[in-house]
């Protein structure tokens, strides 16, 4: 996702620096920019790339797009990249990212957003993108509005939302319902609609998230219908969790279904479907690690 959004912003004329740890990708991007395949066809944009530990000139806007389990580790570097006056925006999946970034950068300096766009990494510096709406939380300071304008300049459909927590939890319900199931079964989102058992799992899992949110004071609407609609709209998408399992790397399951289970326990809301998916993905992760060590 970082490559896709970074390339879009760079093509619109904004100075962009991608920071990460994958040496091959950093080298490819710094030499040749980012190559993108999306609705505009095939194109590329010049983007500067540095290791996340390297010193950087402070930036007005810092987008945080790492996996949720990496947020705490990179939060100090992200705060330094924003300097004293920059604004950090997390568009990550799951819960806990804002809090980790605020701990490093300070309260009032972190914005939260949700993007429905998708990206598949094809290789170092190469990405296939699916463009869709991005929603940024409006904190009233004007900084989110400036970020919104930057995104729109880059051809990204973007809007502001005062009640961003509700939007975050709605996406969380969809992620909880689709991502682990698609990863465990090894299928695209749309394929999950082809079997009644899969559809029932989607509906039950999404409803549990809605029940936890309701106790927290947020009415999310019909989360089961929202999850099924999302599967139809992203029918050809291979979830990031599926891609992670295929690559043998850690998933975001703890920040997605795991976070819902823990919050449900705290509030006394049962979440058995989410817990079953959480445990199943964790088991699959452990097996991949064990197999790799053999």
The residues annotated as belonging to the active site are 171
Q: Can you name the residues that pair with 123 across neighbouring β-strands?
A: 126
- CA distances to 36, 214, 284 from 172, rounded to whole Å, are 27, 14, 21
Query: Residue 163: in which H helix or E strand, if any?
Result: none
Its sign, for the CA torsion 87, 92, 95, 100, is negative
Nearest to 137, CA basis, from 168, 116, 160? 160
CA angle 81/139/13 to nearest 5° reads: 50
C-alpha distance from residue 195 to each of 97, 138, 200, 230 (Å): 34, 40, 9, 16
Question: What b-and-e string marks burial along 214-226, b requiring 16 or more CB atoms within 10 Å of the CB?
Answer: eeeebebeebbeb
Whether 141 contacts 259, CB under 8 Å:
no
- Residue showing tokens 């990206």: 119
Q: Classify residue 42 by its DSSP letter.
A: E
Alpha helices in 186-222 (DSSP H): 196-215
Residue 87's φ and ψ, nearest 5 degrees, are: -120, 130
């Amino acid at each position: 996702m970082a490559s896709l959004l970074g390339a879009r912003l760079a093509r619109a004329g904004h100075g962009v620096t991608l920071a990460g740890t994958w040496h091959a990708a950093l080298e490819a991007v710094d030499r040749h920019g980012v190559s993108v395949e999306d609705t505009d066809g095939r194109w590329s944009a010049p983007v500067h790339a540095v290791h996340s530990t390297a010193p950087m000139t402070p930036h007005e806007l810092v987008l945080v797009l790492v996996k949720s389990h990496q947020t705490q580790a990179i939060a100090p570097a992200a705060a330094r990249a924003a300097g004293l006056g920059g604004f950090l925006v997390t568009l990550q999946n799951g819960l806990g990212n804002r809090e980790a970034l605020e701990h490093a950068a300070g309260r009032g300096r972190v914005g939260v957003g949700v993007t429905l766009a998708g990206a598949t990494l094809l290789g170092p510096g190469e990405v296939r993108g699916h463009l869709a709406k991005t929603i940024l939380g409006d904190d009233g300071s004007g900084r989110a509005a400036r970020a919104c304008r930057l995104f729109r300049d880059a051809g990204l459909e973007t809007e502001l939302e005062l009640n961003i927590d509700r939007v975050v939890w709605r996406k969380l319900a969809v992620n909880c319902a689709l991502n682990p199931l698609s990863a465990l079964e090894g299928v695209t989102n749309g394929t999950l609609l082809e079997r009644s058992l899969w559809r029932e799992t989607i509906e039950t899992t999404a409803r549990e998230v809605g029940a936890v949110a309701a106790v927290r004071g947020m009415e999310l609407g019909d989360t089961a219908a929202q999850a099924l609609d999302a599967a139809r709209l992203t029918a050809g998408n291979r979830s990031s969790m599926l891609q992670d399992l295929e690559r043998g790397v850690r998933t975001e399951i703890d920040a997605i279904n795991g976070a819902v289970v823990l919050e449900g326990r705290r509030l006394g809301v049962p979440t058995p479907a989410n817990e079953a998916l959480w445990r199943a993905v964790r088991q699959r992760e452990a097996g991949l690690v064990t197999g790799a060590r053999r």
